[in-house]
């Protein structure tokens, strides 16, 4: 298993790599990922993990033990990356160490917009990160303030145990709670989102049941969380999922 330093050594070598031609989103990371040219910060992180040793085929594809991936090469979409690490109990909001994946949000909506790799942690809580697809369209070091950081993800590079799942109350007698299907949040598009939307609709929320976790769904989830005394983050994790089925319907 690679170490955190293996990850950072691999990332440092790529500092300065940009796009050819300029402003094209085309480079070795997008070519490796194989999904066409597009925003590539998550592709860069995936490439680094694979070429640092999280691979079974010499870096041709990515394998992070215990973490579901969008494709055989990892992730191109930051929300999926974060949700997959949340499902693996390897996402958290404090206590970063070098080698962690960091996700940022530019807007106060709890949706990750950008990602990189933590190189060092500063005394004031800021971090130095190595990131691809920055504002200069290159791989570079960036200092980021804590206010921009949404969450960290820790690959199993050092044997750090996954976090235990959050405690959820037992359902009332006669109430069956469907198995938690995995985290979903703004930007998710899956059956878990559809189930959440249907349950919110059953509880009286005016919401379209289409499997797309858009702004309407986020508002409904946050309203439900506030009403039930939960953390109002717009993310449906195990606790919010459980309460959707077990809490009494209230105005």
Q: What's the fold here for domain 165-251?
A: Muramoyl-pentapeptide Carboxypeptidase; domain 1 (1.10.101)
- Tell me, what's the pLDDT at 34? 96
Q: What angle do CA 99, 153, 137 make, to 5 degrees?
A: 70
- Tell me, what's the pLDDT at 211? 94
C-alpha of 238 from chain center? 16
Are the C-beta atoms of 155 and 67 separated by less than 8 Å?
yes
Whether residue 21 is preceded by a cis peptide bond, meaning omega within 30 degrees of 0, is yes
- Tell me, what's the pLDDT at 251? 56
For the chain, percent helix, then strand, then coil, each to nearest 5? Answer: 30, 15, 55
DSSP letter at 74 equals: B
Domain layout of the chain by residue ranges? 4-153, 165-251
Question: How far is 224 from 240, CA to CA, in rounded Å?
Answer: 9
- Tell me, what's the pLDDT at 69? 94
- Tell me, what's the pLDDT at 66? 92
Split the chain (251 residues) into runs of 10 and give each run's mean pLDDT.
95 97 96 96 98 97 94 96 92 93 90 96 96 95 96 88 74 85 87 94 94 93 92 90 89 56
């Amino acid at each position: 298993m690679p170490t955190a330093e293996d990850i950072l050594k691999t990332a440092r070598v790529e500092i300065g790599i940009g796009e050819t031609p300029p402003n094209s989103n085309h480079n070795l990371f997008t070519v490796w990922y194989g999904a066409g040219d597009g925003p590539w910060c998550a592709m860069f992180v995936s490439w680094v993990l694979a070429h640092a040793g999280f691979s079974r085929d010499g870096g041709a594809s990515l394998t992070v033990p215990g973490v579901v991936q969008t494709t055989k090469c990892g992730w191109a979409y930051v929300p999926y990356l974060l949700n997959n690490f949340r499902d693996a109990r390897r996402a958290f909001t404090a206590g970063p160490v070098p080698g962690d994946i960091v996700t940022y949000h530019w807007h106060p909506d709890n949706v990750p917009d950008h990602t990189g790799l933590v190189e060092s942690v500063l005394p004031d809580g800021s971090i130095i990160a190595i990131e691809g697809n920055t504002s200069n369209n290159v791989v570079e070091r960036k200092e980021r303030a804590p206010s921009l950081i949404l969450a960290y993800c820790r690959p199993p590079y050092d044997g750090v145990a996954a976090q235990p799942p959050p405690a959820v109350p037992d359902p009332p007698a006669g109430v069956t709670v469907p198995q938690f299907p995995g985290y979903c949040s703004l930007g998710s598009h899956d059956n878990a989102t559809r189930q959440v939307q249907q349950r919110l609709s059953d509880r009286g929320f005016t919401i379209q049941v289409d499997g797309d976790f858009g702004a309407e769904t986020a508002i409904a989830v946050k309203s439900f969380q506030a009403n039930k005394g939960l953390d109002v983050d717009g993310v449906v994790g195990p606790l919010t999922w459980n309460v959707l089925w077990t809490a009494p319907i209230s105005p």
